[in-house]
Structure 1
Amino acid sequence: MYPNDGFRELGREECLRLLATVPVGRIVYTRKALPAVLPVNFRLDHDGAVVLRTAAASESARAVDGAVVAFEADAVNAVAQAGWSVVVTGRAEVVTDEAERQRLEGIGLCSWVPAPEEVFVRIEPDLVTGRELLAGRTLYGLHLSA
Protein backbone atom coordinates (compact mmCIF):
# COMPACT_ATOMS: atom_id res chain seq x y z
CA MET A 1 0.00 0.00 0.00
CA TYR A 2 1.28 3.45 -0.84
CA PRO A 3 1.42 6.14 1.86
CA ASN A 4 -1.48 8.63 1.74
CA ASP A 5 -3.45 6.62 -0.81
CA GLY A 6 -6.60 7.01 1.28
CA PHE A 7 -6.63 3.44 2.57
CA ARG A 8 -5.68 2.00 5.93
CA GLU A 9 -4.61 -1.60 6.29
CA LEU A 10 -6.57 -3.51 8.89
CA GLY A 11 -5.10 -6.01 11.34
CA ARG A 12 -6.40 -9.55 11.64
CA GLU A 13 -8.46 -8.96 14.79
CA GLU A 14 -10.06 -5.82 13.38
CA CYS A 15 -10.87 -7.69 10.15
CA LEU A 16 -12.60 -10.48 12.08
CA ARG A 17 -14.50 -7.95 14.21
CA LEU A 18 -15.76 -6.19 11.07
CA LEU A 19 -16.70 -9.48 9.38
CA ALA A 20 -18.91 -10.32 12.33
CA THR A 21 -20.96 -7.15 11.68
CA VAL A 22 -22.28 -8.09 8.23
CA PRO A 23 -24.51 -11.03 7.22
CA VAL A 24 -23.50 -11.46 3.57
CA GLY A 25 -20.22 -12.06 1.78
CA ARG A 26 -18.90 -13.66 -1.39
CA ILE A 27 -17.05 -16.94 -1.75
CA VAL A 28 -14.55 -17.06 -4.61
CA TYR A 29 -13.67 -20.50 -5.94
CA THR A 30 -12.77 -22.30 -9.16
CA ARG A 31 -15.52 -23.70 -11.36
CA LYS A 32 -14.50 -25.49 -14.57
CA ALA A 33 -11.03 -23.89 -14.36
CA LEU A 34 -12.53 -20.38 -14.17
CA PRO A 35 -13.06 -18.08 -11.20
CA ALA A 36 -16.57 -18.14 -9.75
CA VAL A 37 -18.08 -15.77 -7.18
CA LEU A 38 -21.18 -16.60 -5.19
CA PRO A 39 -22.91 -14.35 -2.64
CA VAL A 40 -23.68 -16.22 0.57
CA ASN A 41 -24.85 -15.60 4.09
CA PHE A 42 -22.36 -16.70 6.76
CA ARG A 43 -21.32 -16.66 10.38
CA LEU A 44 -17.91 -16.47 12.00
CA ASP A 45 -17.05 -19.36 14.27
CA HIS A 46 -15.31 -18.82 17.63
CA ASP A 47 -11.85 -19.26 16.06
CA GLY A 48 -12.44 -16.85 13.16
CA ALA A 49 -13.36 -19.53 10.63
CA VAL A 50 -16.04 -18.54 8.12
CA VAL A 51 -19.00 -20.95 8.16
CA LEU A 52 -21.53 -21.32 5.34
CA ARG A 53 -24.57 -23.59 5.13
CA THR A 54 -25.80 -24.94 1.81
CA ALA A 55 -27.52 -27.84 0.11
CA ALA A 56 -25.43 -31.01 0.24
CA ALA A 57 -26.12 -31.57 -3.46
CA SER A 58 -25.12 -28.05 -4.53
CA GLU A 59 -22.43 -27.56 -7.13
CA SER A 60 -20.70 -25.02 -4.89
CA ALA A 61 -20.41 -27.45 -1.94
CA ARG A 62 -18.74 -30.02 -4.18
CA ALA A 63 -16.50 -27.43 -5.85
CA VAL A 64 -15.12 -25.92 -2.64
CA ASP A 65 -14.67 -29.06 -0.53
CA GLY A 66 -10.92 -29.43 0.01
CA ALA A 67 -10.07 -26.39 -2.15
CA VAL A 68 -8.33 -23.15 -1.27
CA VAL A 69 -10.88 -20.36 -1.61
CA ALA A 70 -11.23 -16.68 -0.88
CA PHE A 71 -14.10 -15.15 1.03
CA GLU A 72 -14.80 -11.42 0.87
CA ALA A 73 -17.22 -9.21 2.75
CA ASP A 74 -17.50 -5.47 2.97
CA ALA A 75 -19.54 -2.48 4.02
CA VAL A 76 -19.69 0.54 1.76
CA ASN A 77 -21.25 3.98 2.13
CA ALA A 78 -21.54 5.12 -1.49
CA VAL A 79 -22.58 8.66 -0.58
CA ALA A 80 -19.61 9.24 1.71
CA GLN A 81 -17.37 7.11 -0.51
CA ALA A 82 -16.10 5.26 2.53
CA GLY A 83 -16.10 1.71 3.76
CA TRP A 84 -14.06 -1.41 4.35
CA SER A 85 -13.33 -4.75 2.72
CA VAL A 86 -11.99 -7.95 4.29
CA VAL A 87 -10.70 -11.06 2.51
CA VAL A 88 -10.21 -14.44 4.20
CA THR A 89 -8.17 -16.98 2.26
CA GLY A 90 -7.95 -20.61 3.30
CA ARG A 91 -9.00 -24.19 2.73
CA ALA A 92 -12.72 -24.92 2.64
CA GLU A 93 -14.02 -28.23 3.98
CA VAL A 94 -17.49 -29.70 4.21
CA VAL A 95 -17.97 -30.53 7.89
CA THR A 96 -18.46 -34.29 8.22
CA ASP A 97 -17.90 -34.82 11.95
CA GLU A 98 -21.34 -35.30 13.53
CA ALA A 99 -20.41 -33.64 16.85
CA GLU A 100 -19.08 -30.60 14.98
CA ARG A 101 -22.23 -30.47 12.82
CA GLN A 102 -24.37 -30.49 15.96
CA ARG A 103 -22.30 -27.69 17.49
CA LEU A 104 -22.64 -25.60 14.31
CA GLU A 105 -26.42 -26.05 14.40
CA GLY A 106 -26.31 -23.74 17.40
CA ILE A 107 -24.65 -20.74 15.73
CA GLY A 108 -27.88 -19.57 14.11
CA LEU A 109 -26.94 -20.02 10.48
CA CYS A 110 -29.77 -20.89 8.11
CA SER A 111 -29.56 -21.58 4.39
CA TRP A 112 -31.19 -18.98 2.15
CA VAL A 113 -32.76 -21.83 0.20
CA PRO A 114 -33.56 -24.71 2.58
CA ALA A 115 -32.83 -28.18 1.19
CA PRO A 116 -33.71 -31.67 2.42
CA GLU A 117 -30.04 -32.28 3.20
CA GLU A 118 -27.73 -29.41 4.13
CA VAL A 119 -24.05 -29.23 4.94
CA PHE A 120 -21.83 -26.75 6.72
CA VAL A 121 -18.77 -25.52 4.87
CA ARG A 122 -15.93 -24.22 7.02
CA ILE A 123 -13.20 -21.92 5.65
CA GLU A 124 -10.09 -21.94 7.81
CA PRO A 125 -8.65 -18.40 7.99
CA ASP A 126 -5.04 -18.93 6.89
CA LEU A 127 -4.72 -15.37 5.58
CA VAL A 128 -6.93 -12.49 6.73
CA THR A 129 -6.44 -9.10 5.12
CA GLY A 130 -8.48 -5.95 4.94
CA ARG A 131 -8.47 -2.29 4.26
CA GLU A 132 -10.58 0.70 5.07
CA LEU A 133 -11.21 3.66 2.79
CA LEU A 134 -10.54 6.56 5.12
CA ALA A 135 -11.85 9.67 3.45
CA GLY A 136 -13.16 8.96 -0.02
CA ARG A 137 -13.05 11.88 -2.42
CA THR A 138 -12.78 14.43 0.37
CA LEU A 139 -9.22 13.25 1.01
CA TYR A 140 -7.90 15.49 -1.75
CA GLY A 141 -10.34 18.34 -1.23
CA LEU A 142 -12.65 17.13 -3.99
CA HIS A 143 -16.36 17.65 -3.52
CA LEU A 144 -19.03 15.05 -4.13
CA SER A 145 -21.08 15.85 -7.21
CA ALA A 146 -23.52 14.03 -9.40
Structure 2
Amino acid sequence: MTRTPAITGDDGGSGASEARRSVELDGVEALRLLGSVSLGRIVFTRHALPTVRPVNHVLADGDIVVRTHGDATLTRYARQAGGEGAVVAYEADDIDRDTHLGWSVVVTGYARLVTDPRELARYQALLRPWGSQRMDHAVRISPDLVTGVLLTPDGPSPRA
Protein backbone atom coordinates (compact mmCIF):
# COMPACT_ATOMS: atom_id res chain seq x y z
CA MET A 1 0.00 0.00 0.00
CA THR A 2 1.20 3.50 -0.84
CA ARG A 3 0.45 6.37 1.52
CA THR A 4 -0.78 9.70 0.20
CA PRO A 5 -1.25 13.01 2.04
CA ALA A 6 -3.99 13.34 4.64
CA ILE A 7 -7.41 14.44 3.45
CA THR A 8 -9.07 17.20 5.44
CA GLY A 9 -11.84 19.62 4.79
CA ASP A 10 -15.56 20.14 4.97
CA ASP A 11 -17.34 17.31 6.71
CA GLY A 12 -20.45 17.62 4.54
CA GLY A 13 -22.55 18.27 7.63
CA SER A 14 -21.87 14.84 9.09
CA GLY A 15 -19.78 15.96 12.03
CA ALA A 16 -16.79 14.02 10.67
CA SER A 17 -14.16 16.73 10.55
CA GLU A 18 -11.24 14.52 11.53
CA ALA A 19 -8.28 14.26 9.20
CA ARG A 20 -8.29 11.18 7.03
CA ARG A 21 -5.54 9.46 5.10
CA SER A 22 -6.01 7.93 1.66
CA VAL A 23 -4.07 4.70 1.21
CA GLU A 24 -3.76 3.13 -2.25
CA LEU A 25 -4.72 -0.54 -2.35
CA ASP A 26 -2.99 -3.17 -4.44
CA GLY A 27 -5.10 -4.97 -7.03
CA VAL A 28 -5.48 -8.18 -5.04
CA GLU A 29 -6.76 -6.38 -1.93
CA ALA A 30 -8.99 -4.12 -4.03
CA LEU A 31 -10.67 -7.13 -5.70
CA ARG A 32 -11.04 -8.87 -2.32
CA LEU A 33 -12.89 -5.83 -0.97
CA LEU A 34 -15.04 -5.56 -4.10
CA GLY A 35 -16.02 -9.20 -3.63
CA SER A 36 -17.14 -8.47 -0.05
CA VAL A 37 -20.09 -6.34 -1.20
CA SER A 38 -22.89 -7.08 -3.64
CA LEU A 39 -23.75 -3.63 -4.97
CA GLY A 40 -21.80 -1.45 -7.39
CA ARG A 41 -22.13 0.88 -10.34
CA ILE A 42 -21.29 0.05 -13.94
CA VAL A 43 -20.21 2.84 -16.30
CA PHE A 44 -20.50 2.40 -20.06
CA THR A 45 -21.16 4.49 -23.16
CA ARG A 46 -24.65 5.26 -24.42
CA HIS A 47 -25.08 7.64 -27.37
CA ALA A 48 -21.40 8.61 -27.00
CA LEU A 49 -21.95 9.73 -23.38
CA PRO A 50 -21.09 8.03 -20.08
CA THR A 51 -23.96 6.15 -18.48
CA VAL A 52 -24.01 4.82 -14.92
CA ARG A 53 -26.28 2.04 -13.64
CA PRO A 54 -26.44 0.58 -10.13
CA VAL A 55 -26.29 -3.22 -10.26
CA ASN A 56 -25.66 -6.14 -7.99
CA HIS A 57 -22.66 -8.31 -8.76
CA VAL A 58 -20.71 -11.38 -7.84
CA LEU A 59 -16.96 -11.87 -8.11
CA ALA A 60 -16.40 -15.18 -9.90
CA ASP A 61 -12.98 -16.51 -10.88
CA GLY A 62 -11.52 -12.99 -10.76
CA ASP A 63 -14.23 -11.51 -12.99
CA ILE A 64 -17.18 -9.33 -12.03
CA VAL A 65 -20.52 -10.71 -13.20
CA VAL A 66 -23.83 -8.84 -13.33
CA ARG A 67 -27.24 -10.05 -14.50
CA THR A 68 -29.28 -8.13 -17.00
CA HIS A 69 -32.20 -8.58 -19.35
CA GLY A 70 -32.25 -8.87 -23.12
CA ASP A 71 -33.55 -5.37 -23.78
CA ALA A 72 -31.19 -3.60 -21.34
CA THR A 73 -28.87 -0.93 -22.70
CA LEU A 74 -25.90 -2.73 -21.15
CA THR A 75 -26.85 -6.00 -22.87
CA ARG A 76 -27.10 -4.26 -26.23
CA TYR A 77 -23.81 -2.42 -25.65
CA ALA A 78 -21.94 -5.63 -24.80
CA ARG A 79 -23.55 -7.47 -27.74
CA GLN A 80 -22.59 -4.73 -30.25
CA ALA A 81 -18.96 -4.93 -29.18
CA GLY A 82 -18.80 -8.56 -30.24
CA GLY A 83 -16.11 -10.98 -29.06
CA GLU A 84 -13.58 -8.35 -28.03
CA GLY A 85 -16.00 -6.92 -25.48
CA ALA A 86 -17.08 -3.40 -24.59
CA VAL A 87 -14.97 -1.10 -22.42
CA VAL A 88 -16.62 -0.42 -19.06
CA ALA A 89 -15.72 0.78 -15.60
CA TYR A 90 -17.13 -0.77 -12.44
CA GLU A 91 -17.10 0.91 -9.04
CA ALA A 92 -18.01 -0.43 -5.62
CA ASP A 93 -17.41 0.99 -2.19
CA ASP A 94 -18.14 0.75 1.50
CA ILE A 95 -17.80 4.19 3.05
CA ASP A 96 -19.31 5.03 6.43
CA ARG A 97 -21.79 7.82 6.04
CA ASP A 98 -20.89 9.42 9.38
CA THR A 99 -17.10 9.07 9.54
CA HIS A 100 -16.38 8.99 5.78
CA LEU A 101 -13.98 6.12 6.44
CA GLY A 102 -13.95 2.98 4.30
CA TRP A 103 -12.84 2.04 0.80
CA SER A 104 -13.61 2.51 -2.88
CA VAL A 105 -12.54 0.30 -5.80
CA VAL A 106 -12.70 1.02 -9.53
CA VAL A 107 -12.17 -1.68 -12.16
CA THR A 108 -11.76 -0.93 -15.85
CA GLY A 109 -12.02 -3.76 -18.33
CA TYR A 110 -13.98 -5.43 -21.08
CA ALA A 111 -17.59 -6.55 -20.67
CA ARG A 112 -18.76 -9.59 -22.61
CA LEU A 113 -22.08 -11.40 -22.66
CA VAL A 114 -22.02 -14.81 -21.01
CA THR A 115 -23.13 -17.25 -23.68
CA ASP A 116 -22.33 -20.67 -22.18
CA PRO A 117 -25.65 -22.08 -20.82
CA ARG A 118 -23.97 -23.73 -17.79
CA GLU A 119 -22.16 -20.55 -16.81
CA LEU A 120 -25.32 -18.52 -17.27
CA ALA A 121 -27.26 -20.93 -15.05
CA ARG A 122 -24.52 -20.66 -12.40
CA TYR A 123 -24.71 -16.85 -12.37
CA GLN A 124 -28.50 -16.92 -12.33
CA ALA A 125 -28.28 -19.03 -9.16
CA LEU A 126 -25.67 -16.73 -7.56
CA LEU A 127 -27.28 -13.37 -8.39
CA ARG A 128 -30.83 -12.53 -7.40
CA PRO A 129 -32.45 -9.68 -9.40
CA TRP A 130 -33.80 -6.70 -7.47
CA GLY A 131 -37.09 -6.50 -9.30
CA SER A 132 -39.55 -8.84 -10.87
CA GLN A 133 -38.25 -8.31 -14.42
CA ARG A 134 -36.83 -11.44 -16.00
CA MET A 135 -33.02 -11.26 -15.98
CA ASP A 136 -32.02 -13.94 -18.46
CA HIS A 137 -28.62 -12.54 -19.48
CA ALA A 138 -25.32 -12.00 -17.69
CA VAL A 139 -22.36 -9.78 -18.44
CA ARG A 140 -18.84 -10.70 -17.34
CA ILE A 141 -16.28 -7.93 -16.79
CA SER A 142 -12.65 -8.99 -17.08
CA PRO A 143 -10.56 -6.56 -15.02
CA ASP A 144 -7.64 -4.96 -16.86
CA LEU A 145 -7.00 -2.10 -14.46
CA VAL A 146 -7.88 -2.34 -10.76
CA THR A 147 -7.45 0.64 -8.45
CA GLY A 148 -8.63 1.27 -4.95
CA VAL A 149 -8.27 3.54 -1.96
CA LEU A 150 -8.72 2.96 1.74
CA LEU A 151 -9.81 5.98 3.76
CA THR A 152 -8.43 5.67 7.28
CA PRO A 153 -8.15 8.05 10.23
CA ASP A 154 -4.96 10.07 10.14
CA GLY A 155 -2.96 9.06 13.21
CA PRO A 156 -2.35 11.50 16.05
CA SER A 157 0.25 14.15 15.30
CA PRO A 158 3.30 14.27 17.55
CA ARG A 159 3.21 17.37 19.75
CA ALA A 160 6.22 19.68 19.64
TM-score, normalized by length of structure 1?
A: 0.83
Residue number in structure 2 paired with 1:27? 42
Residue number in structure 2 paired with 1:60? 74
1:13-92 alignment runs, 5 A limit: 13-45=28-60, 47-65=61-79, 66-92=85-111
TM-score, normalized by length of structure 2?
A: 0.76
CA RMSD of aligned residues (A): 2.1
Residue number in structure 1 paired with 2:137? 119
Amino acid at match of 1:110: R
Contact 1:55 1:114 in 2 (8 A): no
Residue number in structure 2 paired with 1:133? 151
* Unmatched segments (≥5 aa) in structure 1: 142-146
* Unmatched segments (≥5 aa) in structure 2: 7-20, 80-84
CA shift digits 1:47-103 (9 cap, x unpaired): 221100011121221123421100000011122121110011110011112232233
1:117 and 1:41 map into 2 onto residues whose CA distance is 12
How far 1:44 sits from its partner (Å)?
0.5
How far 1:117 sits from its partner (Å)?
5.5
Do the aligned partners of residues 115 and 78 (structure 1) sit closer, same or farther apart at CA in structure 2, a change above 3 Å counting? Answer: closer
Q: Which of 1 and 2 has greater Rg?
A: 2
1:91 and 1:103 map into 2 onto residues whose CA distance is 20
2:36 and 2:26 map into 1 onto residues whose CA distance is 16
1:105 and 1:128 map into 2 onto residues whose CA distance is 25
